[in-house]
């Protein structure tokens, strides 16, 4: 009934081009056979992808980031589910304050969190510890997980649980057989979103990583401030591919718009 006019469609095309331009350019340049940043015109080459493996520091950072994101996302879910349960289902003093505490990293710039963590680590001698880095990431990504899990608790039909109870199920059985399956999409979506956020995090990590715990984004940032060569494009293209894959999974399973619309 309401259609977009030609001007609207032209505007839309320009916006889409603007949004995609840097990503497309990266993916093209990654395949260049040349030594300079150029778009391949005659032939495609994988040499810059092979080049990545001659940089063990990049490979190590990639593996490091993968572990970091996996651990942080899992821990974050482990904290968020009971916390969401407490906040959603119970009335207790300090409930609002607790909620605000869990969501506070959203309104604190990552830059500030980074310097704050750095100060703490310097005082307790935790600089360079992978475990503490994981903890920092948990703090940064938990608000996203908590919001998604809370949303699935709020959207849950309580009468289904009551029905299970009237049918003779114990509290634990109700949680396992009724509640958990219903909030599972929220949990999985939260985990994936947390994983991506942790994997991509730069601003906070750059303050608290040490040479042994450098994450991939930090490594890339350091590398890019020194020199720009097509290998950066190859690494970036891999990250885009990885993100796109995760995005497709998220979208298929839950609808990306639903997950991201809750994100700040």
Partner 1 sequence: MSVGRSAATPFWLAGPGALLFLGLVVLPLVLTVILSFHVYDHTTGIKNEFTLAHYAAVFSDEYYLGIFWRTLRLAGLTTLICVLIGAPEAYILSRMRDPWRSVFLLVIIGPLLVSVVVRAFGWSMLLGSTGLVNQALQGLGFDSVRLLYTETAIVIALVHVMLPFMVIPVWTALQKLDPMVEAAAWSLGASHFTALRRVVLPQVSLGMLSGSLIVFGLSASAFAIPGLLGGRRLKMAATLVYDEYMHELNWPLGATIAIIVLVANLVIMLAYNRVIETRARKALG
184-203 binders of partner 1 (CB under 8 A): 196, 199-200, 202-203
Residue 215's φ and ψ, nearest 5 degrees, are -85, 165
The answer to whether 194 and 77 are in contact (CB under 8 A) is yes
Q: Least distance (Å) from partner 1 to the CB of residue 36?
A: 8
Options 35, 41, 104, 210; binder of partner 1; rule CB under 8 A:
104
| Size (the chain), residues | 264
- Contact flags string 199-238 toward partner 1, x per CB under 8 A: xx-xx--xx---------x--xx--xx--x---xx--x--
- Nearest Cα to Cα of residue 186 among 157, 158, 152, 161: 152
Residue 62's CB: how many other CB atoms inside 10 A?
19
Residue 22 is a binding residue for partner 1 (CB under 8 A): yes
In whole angstroms, the minimum distance from the beta carbon of 233 to partner 1 comes to 7
Within 110-149, the residues that bind partner 1 by CB under 8 A are 110-113, 115-120, 123, 135-136, 138-139, 142
What's the min distance (Å) between Cβ of 53 and partner 1? 19
Alpha-carbon distance of 257 to 243, in angstroms, equals 15
Residues 42-101 binding partner 1 (CB under 8 A) are 79-80, 82-83, 85-87, 89-90, 92, 95, 98, 101
What b/e string do you get for 15-33 counting C-beta neighbours within 10 Å, with b at 16 or more?
Answer: eeeeeeeeeeebbbbbbbe
Q: Which is nearer to partner 1, 2 or 43 (CB)?
A: 2
């Amino acid at each position: 009934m309401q259609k977009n006019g030609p001007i609207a469609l032209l505007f839309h095309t320009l916006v889409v081009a603007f949004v995609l331009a840097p990503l497309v350019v990266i993916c093209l340049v990654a395949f260049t056979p040349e030594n300079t940043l150029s778009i391949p015109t005659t032939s495609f080459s994988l040499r810059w992808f092979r080049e990545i493996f001659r940089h063990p520091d990049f490979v190590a950072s990639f593996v490091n980031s993968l572990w970091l994101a996996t651990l942080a996302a899992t821990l974050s879910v482990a904290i968020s589910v009971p916390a969401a349960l407490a906040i959603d289902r119970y009335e207790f003093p300090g409930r609002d304050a607790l909620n605000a505490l869990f969501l506070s990293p959203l309104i604190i710039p990552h830059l500030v969190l980074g310097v704050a963590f750095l100060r703490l680590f310097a005082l307790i001698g935790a600089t360079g510890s992978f475990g503490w880095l994981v903890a920092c990431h948990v703090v940064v990504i938990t608000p996203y997980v908590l919001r998604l899990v809370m949303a699935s608790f709020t959207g849950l039909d309580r009468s289904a649980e009551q029905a299970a109870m009237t049918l003779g199920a114990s509290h634990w059985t109700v949680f396992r057989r009724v509640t958990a399956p219903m909030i599972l999409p929220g949990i999985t979506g939260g985990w994936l979103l947390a994983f991506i956020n942790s994997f991509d995090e730069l601003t906070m990590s750059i303050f608290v990583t040490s040479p042994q715990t450098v994450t991939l984004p930090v490594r890339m940032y350091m590398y890019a401030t020194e020199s720009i060569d097509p290998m950066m494009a190859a690494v970036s293209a891999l990250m885009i591919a990885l993100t796109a894959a995760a995005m497709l999974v998220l979208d298929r399973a839950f609808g990306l718009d639903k997950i991201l619309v809750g994100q700040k």
